[in-house]
Chain A
Amino acid sequence: MNRGDLIAPRVAFGKALAEAGNIYKDLVVFDADVCASTQTQYFKDAFPERFYQSGIAEANMVGMAAGMAASGATPFVSTFAVFLAKRAADQIRVSVAYPKANVKLNGAYGGLPTGKAGATHSSVEDIAVMRAMPHMQILVPADPVETRAAVMLALETPGPVYLRTVRCPVPVILPENHRMIFGQGLELHAGQDIALVSTGMMTPKTLAAAEILAKEGIKARVIHLGTLKPLDNQIIIKAARECGHIVTVENHSIIGGLGGAVAEVLTEHYPCRQTRIGFPDIFMESGDDEAIFSLLGMNTENIAQKVRTILKTKKEIK
């Protein structure tokens, strides 16, 4: 995978899982009839004897995975984020998170992009639900390279992990040898006029916005938080201290996701102005992904414009 390549993270996920199957002999995969969409098909083809089809029954799927984990397996449970994190929320809570079962969860089709499926399928609040669950560790990779790294990190780490993968193609921004570390954010672009803190597929857009702004003489720091739990508090506090204003950017509701998590850190450790870019407490609707992102002020130009407005207002106040 080379910088700039457009690859769907779901495909990177599927291939990484099949690759991991060779390394982890106890890795088994559960699917609720969406393997062709979430791309666990790759694992199914490579290791049919370790692939479990639950049918469209997410609650039972999560429970079976927890039972297998209790007897020594490392199950990766995969279905659409919207159903995994909410329809099976209680099963994840009681059978996975509470006993620290070694179950990995792939919340596929995270956020808006679902192929125009609309409100019922666009997962706007899965991270909020997973974040509030004790023992849960959360990975929201930026690009296809980091998606592969996230699969490997999830498997290396004992206990429950929620990994969010994305359907639409996303440009590669990280080097092939990139490794993810829990609780460690990444500074992707230097600057101290303002700090843009992003996660998941919004990171490439945010980085592109910072590059546009750089040409205008605006130095925006870009921080990518790929591990939302545990969170890299220090990198957020440092950004607040040095940049004075933080803009969070996420493919999720502004409630309870990255925006909420960063606000919690700032309020307790270093209060500073924050602007949240994300879904404004609404359900999504059918339509072209980019059209909806634009409508909600979430495309690259929107992000750049938001920064210009913030900095202009700041200047006027001064």
Chain B
Amino acid sequence: MRPEVTTDRAFIDDFIDDYFSECEEHLATVRRTLLAFDEAGERPIDPPQLQELLRALHTLKGLSGMVGLSAAEEVAHAMEDGLRAVPESSAVPRNLLDTLFAGVTRLEEAVVARRARINPPSPGAFVDQVRDVIASMQSTTGGRDIVHVRTEALTRFRFAASAALLARGVGVEVIRQRLASIGKIIQTTPVALPTGSVVFEFTVKLPTGVEPPDEWRDDALSWELAEQVMPVGVGLVVHSNEPMESPRPVAAVSSNVVRVDLARLDDLMRMVGELVVSRARLSEAVRRAHGQLTSSVEEDLTDANAAIERQLRGIREGVMRVRLVAVNEVFERLRFAMRDVARETQKSIHLEFVGQETEIDKLVIDRMLEPLLHLVRNSASHGIESRNDRVANGKSPDGTIVLRAHAAGDRIVLQVEDDGAGIDVLRVEQRAVAAGLIPPNEALTPDVLLDVLCSSGFSTRDSADMTSGRGVGMAVVRDTIRAIGGTLFLDSTLGRGTRFTIELPLTLMITDALVMAIGDQSMAIPQISLREIVPLEGATITRVENNEVLTYRGRVIPLVDLGARFNFQPRPGAKRHALIVGSESHEAGLIVDGILGLREIVVHPVTDPLVAIPGISGATELADGRVSLVLDAAALVRVSRERTERTAARMLPLSREPAATLGWSATVSEKLWS
């Protein structure tokens, strides 16, 4: 029913995917090197770093040209021109550096536009800006002229090295000397061919009228005008113009890294998921066939089934590993963004990373860039105080923001922590009351603080500032985190700092889960979130107000009756159990009507707004083909906690003293209650 897709289109789309992933890499290099220049301040440029930056820009330019994205091509070209105008052994002038930073933003915009298939913003103004900066540099420092190597007539030589030639004494070095004797070698690039052999490409500027002798062709050397040469080889090899003394190692070109479109991995993951379901069916059939087959056939079937299970586990772990990338990728982008923020806010802020090598699903971490960016900006503009204020409060004049990542079971925890002013709860409360978000004369409990901060339209700043916008951000932050099954937490201590914690699923999950009956339905809960299973027959259950609590091994555990919560038909003759979930300090017992067994399940996220219900993290297909919902233990514990705390709050009203030390973990309660 979809329109036919032509092969051409598919071809370009394939190519475009490579382009996007390559761009990402080279942009990362550009950001990193620019930051290094920024930190170097007045010190002269480090030549290898400059070469790296120029190479990345040049490659971006070439790639963008190939996909017809001229906006990016021109911006990268202008950035190159700007850098080449910097005199040797001097620092990158401040105005040029600022322009280059702006250039990165232009490049990002152009790539994003191409992705969205819309017209990119015109690069004209940026190109003019670079020209002005170069002019100012040349008038003040007499910087070198810009050399447009690309526009000159160049000849590209191609030499196919082989053992036979080497035996005759014709190796790369010989060819290089030969070429150097007739012209100037601008560049040497080894290119890996799909056949596995290697071709060296030399870009040579020949004096007018000089022609290479024809007999060179006998030594597997060929040549043509450079502008007509198309890149060959595996992947996108792009020729850069900067002079290089010796050939780059082949490994730099034909690396062992294969780029894979995330969508293909998703397909693979989905297929593995289907396999898991099929195997479960097979298992079920083998079990049912028990006694109806000869024992040797049955044994074979059981063995084969067990082998498949083991192998599937291997495949599944392999696919999951492929999807993981280090968090560092995103942290580095935040460092880049921080530079602008620090300048806009006129503050000096150190950004520290902890656990940046932690690996997380590519899709998950990509979605986290915007929320993290927002939280870091928030910390910089609202959290960290001005230098004067900090000194007056006995703090170091420079603020610190720490970005942390670590794995915790099947979750990844990301934190953004600042040593700033902390959140002034009384002030938030006043504004929340004024905005009608909470009723007057009601204490702003820790639970509600994050809700207030995340309500759209709430801002404690009297004037919205450029950096953090107008208080719609936190709502988006929380929605984005929720959409991929994550949770946001807040800790803040007045005068000491604020910490946002994001808990995320490690990846799309296949997991071992307990399948249980709740009313007339079956549901699953990941085994990893279970602490204990307690039969309720003969157990001590006490009612406190509307809540039931279980007394078990000296602990008092609040109970959540899932069947009643979900309005399922009660199951007659149910063997009720409590599944103990949560952490030691905050646990809850989920009452279920029966345990059906432990299964390996594929968890499909359920994110559509129609069915995104708190307490349910996803769905899974069981062996009978029926979909079962997967419980989100963490969310259910929160429900139980909030209830308990509200009950407690009514009995024991919270102190409304100015909160000197408010150390708590305010949880995401789903809505302001009024």
Mutual binders A and B? no
Chain B positions within 8 Å of A, measured between CB atoms, are none
